[in-house]
Structure 1
Amino acid sequence: METDHAPRRAIVTAGDSGIGRATAVALATAGMDVALTWHSDREGAEQTAEEVRTHGARAIVAQLDVADIPACGDVVDALVAELGGLDVFVNNAGAGTSTPFLDLPLDDWRRVLDTDLTGAFVCLQRAARAMVSAGNGGRLISVTSVHAHQPMVGSSAYDAAKHGLDGLMKNLALELGAFGIGAVSVAPGEIATPMTGQTDSDPHGEDRPGIPLGRPGDAREVAALIAFLASPPAAYISGASVVIDGGMLQMGPQAGASIESHDWRTV
């Protein structure tokens, strides 16, 4: 196996907490310098950076609002320049809303689509251009969701955005493969993070009867998967959506047969 192109420089968006923080640390452990971004929690990002540095890696911190289009792409360009190049780009920033479709304001729809899809497009494009220009290949990894595969009541904007992002990553695999650039989606289920209201909680102590493994996931489990997908042994994986959900998606007919009330119809 060739190792002369082992990745050395990575960008992780929304690296201030949750999956982003765990991913930045996992990539640093794998020997990469990491630029990580934050939207509103600079202190959290700085804490991540300090942890990255304990692994002997360089850490760069920058503010990024993915919904600020197209300015978000300029932030990516600046980080690539400061890193001295780019081997791995992890598109992790996201937003959602829990609102019934009939009540969803257009502004909320636009905010979620701008953050999860259009802003992601801009950032991924800038990252890909840098990789193509350098000529050393690279890896584009987007954190999507199980809801890129199956919808959820109250999440029409989120579902649409994540379906679109998954489709975009498949297209990137087709178009960028000739440049040695792989594109992969990582689709988590319920993960114990601030986004799910489980900041710093141990998922192993949570009971989830509707998930075959019986608990939420740990952000470090998702980060380990991303670190593997960014590594040389995973270089032939492209165009795939890798689900990490404790078996949740397999519960469709089983859950449908077990539900005994109509409570699921409302948010």
Structure 2
Amino acid sequence: MTTDSAHVPDPFPRLAIVTGADSGIGRATALLLATEGFDIGLTVHRDVAGAKETARAVEQRGRRCVQAAFDAAATDAGAVVERLAGDLGGLGVLVNVAGTGQSELALDLPLETWQHVLATDLTGPFLCAQRAARRMVADGHGGRIINVTSVHEHVPRVGSSAYCAAKAGLGMLTQVLALELAEHGITVNSVAPGEIATEMTGQDEEDAYRVSRPGNPLGRPGHVNEVASVIGFLASPRSAYVTGSSYAVDGGLMLMAAHGHDDAGSGWRRP
């Protein structure tokens, strides 16, 4: 007997919280989930106009959208999950997208910057995941937690010591939570984007198709929808047997480590 997973009902409600949904990957994720029938709770830090635009687009897709102010670096960052879950009437999926970066060499990195990046990119997602898991366990229906990390969950980058440490930590936290929450029917996975055309990388979304990246096997940056589609899979019944995994969405960038001695585009495609 075969089973069409597309018709397997969700064991959890189609209610999702997406942090950092005012733009970029967060917005693309919120809109994809809304298209797939989720009501959305989104967070806003500074870009109030962007959050309103996302909310309008969610509602245009026929779904409810609620918003809450959120600072991922705050000591009570997880409280936003309780507020939004209360407004939604439950919670089935949490997507941790909100984050920040840094560009100083480790020798020049101020402690304050280190602490802020770790708080935003690791502690904040932990607190949100903890609150979300507690709600899912209490409601007894399982759920999905998806952490957006980076290829730097796996590989280092000069000038990004705090960022790499936080993303690597979030990747390992994902695996620990996957083990601890499995008995409750909650899966936990990470999505690790490479270079994606967003405001954070100083690009427009359409740059994903018009900017050349010779050192990337696919030859270009990624589009936010290409990341959101992987998140959408992990938020769906089709991923019910997937937990503790990290999905690189990087155009093959991490495969290039062994070719790092070559100049970009100087013949790395040949042995």
- Range of TM-score over shorter length: over 0.9
Look up the match of 1:221: 226
Residue pair 2:102, 2:159 contacting (<8 A) in 1 also: yes
- 1:1-267 aligned at under 5 Å gives the runs 1=5, 2-5=8-11, 7-70=13-76, 72-258=77-263
Deviations 1:185-209 (A, max 9, x none): 0000000011101134331100000
Q: Distance in 1 between matches of 2:205 and 2:144?
A: 29
Secondary structure (helix, strand or coil) at the match of 1:45 reads helix
Residue 242 of structure 1 aligns to a residue in which SS?
strand
Partners of 2:10 and 2:236 within 8 A in 1: no
- Conservation of the 8 A alpha-carbon contact between 2:20 and 2:98: yes
* 3-state SS, counterpart of residue 223 of structure 1: helix
CA distance in 2, matches of 1:256, 1:76: 45
Distance 1:24 1:7 in 2: 16
**Gaps (5+ residues) in structure 1?**
261-267
User: Which amino acid in 1 is paired with 2:144?
Assistant: R
CA contact (8 A) 1:210 1:255 kept: no
With normalisation by structure 1, the TM-score equals: 0.94
Name the CA shift for 1:34/1:259 in 2 (closer, same or farther; >3 Å).
closer
Alignment-mate amino acid for residue 250 of structure 2: D
Q: Which amino acid aligns with 2:118?
A: L
**Does structure 2 conserve the Cα–Cα contact (< 8 Å) formed by 1:42 and 1:63?**
no
CA distance in structure 2 between the partners assigned to 1:209 and 1:177 by the alignment: 41
Contact 1:6/1:232 (8 A) holds in 2: no
- Asked whether the equivalents of residues 194 and 251 of structure 2 are also in contact (C-alpha less than 8 Å), the reply is yes
Q: Which runs of 5+ in 2 are unaligned?
A: 266-271
Residue-by-residue CA offset, 1:134-191 (whole Å, 9 max, x unaligned): 0000000000000000010000000000000000000000000000000000000000
- Identity among equivalent pairs (%): 55
Q: Aligned partners of 1:19, 1:169: CA distance in 2, in Å? A: 19
Q: CA RMSD in A?
A: 1.3
TM-score by length of 2: 0.93
Q: Which amino acid aligns with 2:81?
A: V
AA of the residue aligned to 2:113: D
